[in-house]
Each structure stands twice: as structure tokens, then as C-alpha cells.
Amino acid sequence: MWVSYVPALPSDAVAAMENIPTWMAGQAKAVAVYNRPFWREAGLSGDAMSRSGPMVECHDASPAEGGPYAIFGFIGVPSASRLDTHALRQQLCMQLSRLFGPEAYEPKHLFLKDWAVDPFTATDLDHRPVHAHPDYGLPQFLSRLWDNALILAGTEVAPKFGGFLEGALEAAERAYFALNRNGD
């Protein structure tokens, strides 16, 4: 499903949208689910930063009590290195084991979300490595579309925290106030 606009957006607006990096192709997430929080029992927080293995950071994603218990992590290897999901899963289990002990090697479930293979998230342009966080904000050609009848509110147009959840909230708030100024 692709979005189309009627009437068509100005070509400058389309070009501006096509040139906003999403950087999501470089990102993937893993969630390892366990029957019990053995890392807590060992006095570990479940949080780690690592340069050895596919995850660059991981965190305890469990409730305080009652399970299910999970550790999630952001995978920081290039998208081409994630294509072999079987090998990636093995690497993740080995890394979790090194960080949190041998029980971490065999999660009950290991979920992966790789935005590089999601056609509605990552474009070919997004597969290029990003060496610094992109600058975001609302490009001039994307403001006042259709006399302010179309207001874009995604993290990629946030002025301060673009690319992050906080940016999505910031952009949504900006859109809300823009709509309310217009009397809608």
C-alpha cells in the first residue's frame, strides 16, 4: 500500500519527503523472552552496552513481577549482516549468554524486528550507513501544504528530537496546536 495525494503534492514537497532520511534500515530489535528473570536473581540489571555481538545495547523489558520476562536490544550491525536470520539468532544467543550467563542462551522465544526488510519503513536510500544522527525538522516545502489542510506529524519532521519517540510526540503536539489554531 502506497500513499497517494489528490490533488498531487507539489514536486518540491515530494522531493523534500524523498530526501528525509529515516535511518531505520540500520536498525533492528531483538526481544528474548524467558520463564524467569535469572539475571535479576544474579544481581544484574538486564541493561548493557556492548561492542561484541550484534546488539549495541540491551535492557530489561520485564514487569517488576509476574512475567513474562524479557531482555530487548537494539541490533547495530549493517542490514546486509542481518540477512541470515538463523546466524543472527545464534549470535544474539551467544551475546546474551556472555552478558547475562548461560541461562540466557536459550530464550523461550526470540523475536526479531528488522526495519531494513520492511518496505513501508526503509527505502534503498536508507540502507546506506549513517555515521551521525540526521538533522530533522519540517522542510519549508512541507509546510502549509494545501493551505494547511495537510499537516505532517512524524518523528522525521520534529525540530528537536527527530528520529526518536520523543520526536514523534513533539511532532504530534505541533500538529495538534496547528490544527487548533486553524479552528478545527
Q: What would the pLDDT profile of 129-175 be if each residue is shown by its tens digit?
A: 777 778 889 999 998 899 888 999 999 899 899 888 899 999 999 99
Nearest to 69 by CA among 84, 59, 79, 82: 59
Q: What is the pLDDT of residue 183?
A: 52
* pLDDT tens readout for residues 11-44: 999 999 888 877 777 889 999 999 999 999 999 9
Higher pLDDT, 125 or 99: 99
Banded model confidence at residue 123, pLDDT cuts 50, 70, 90: confident
Report how far apart, in Å, the C-alpha atoms of 69 and of each of 91, 95, 177 are: 20, 18, 39
Length of the chain counted residue by residue: 184
Q: What percent of the chain has pLDDT over 90?
A: 59
| Domain boundaries along the sequence of the chain | 11-22+136-181, 24-117
**Which CATH number among 3.50.50.60, 3.40.50.300, 3.90.660.10, 1.10.510.10 corresponds to the domain 24-117?**
3.90.660.10
pTM for the full model?
0.75
* Rounded distance between C-alpha atoms, residue 7 and residue 159, angstroms: 27
At a CB cut-off of 8 Å and minimum separation 6, what does 90 contact? none
